[in-house]
Amino acid sequence: MELAELQRIIEATYGDRDRRRGVPSTVAWLAEELGELAQAVRKGTADQQRHEFADVLAWVASLANQMDIDLTQAIERYASGCPRCSASPCACA
Amino acid sequence: MELAELQRIIEATYGDRDRRRGVPSTVAWLAEELGELAQAVRKGTADQQRHEFADVLAWVASLANQMDIDLTQAIERYASGCPRCSASPCACA
């Protein structure tokens, strides 16, 4: 799935509600979901891990939507390798 | 950018090093980057926000790589609307 498509889907599904809750609430939800992902990584099944990875991506997309951030543009930072050393594999010390 | 491409790029650029550090370290780095994103959302410029969104996505991809999780498969959970109510917009109470 394209990042732009992810942002579109999350906007259509949750955009109105998430915007009503506002940015600080979205940051809080994202932090909560990251905690759930950390737990699933530590002791969950692969299905539970997939579930939590998806939830984190969904909340990142919702937050980006509210901040008018284009994730496709943002991730260009990594498109040519490490943003610091410009190498792939990264050659930073 | 496709999620699969993101996972490929991050694997090529950071895979060996991140795997040597291990999963708990990757979770810790992801948590740190989420904190930086939260700060950028609160008081950063749009460029700083893009930077931090990209870093969070990069660490999510690295963690998924180490857990052998396919983010494209994971996000299918949201492809047809809300995973709970199957509606888009979500109709959950």
Which token pair is A56?
A: 């984190």
Best CA proximity match to B41, nearest among A43, A47, A82, A59: A59
- pLDDT tier at B21, thresholds 50, 70, 90: very high
Q: What is the tens place of the pLDDT at every residue in A23-74?
A: 999 999 999 999 999 999 999 999 999 999 999 999 999 999 999 999 999 9
| Percent of chain A at pLDDT exceeding 70 | 100
State the complex-level ipTM: 0.97
Res A82 pLDDT > 90: yes
A28 touches chain B (CB under 8 A): no
Cβ of B56 within 8 Å of Cβ of A54? The answer is: no
| Partners of residue A20 on adjacent β-strands | none
- Partner residue facing B2 (CB), from A1, A67, A87: A1
Q: Is A85 on the interface with B (CB under 8 A)?
A: no
Q: Cα separation of B89 and B17, whole Å?
A: 41
Q: Which residue in A39, A18, A25, A30 sits closest to B33, CA to CA?
A: A30
Q: What is the pLDDT of residue A93?
A: 78
Nearest Cα residue to A66 out of B59, B31, B33, B46:
B46
Q: Is B36 exposed, middle or buried (0-12, 13-18, 19+ CB in 10 A)?
A: middle
**The total number of residues written for chain A in this structure:** 93
In contact, B15 and A22? CB cutoff 8 Å: no
- Model pTM above 0.90: yes
- Structure token pair of residue A49: 């891990």
Q: Per residue in B33-66, pLDDT tens? A: 999 999 999 999 999 999 999 999 999 999 999 9
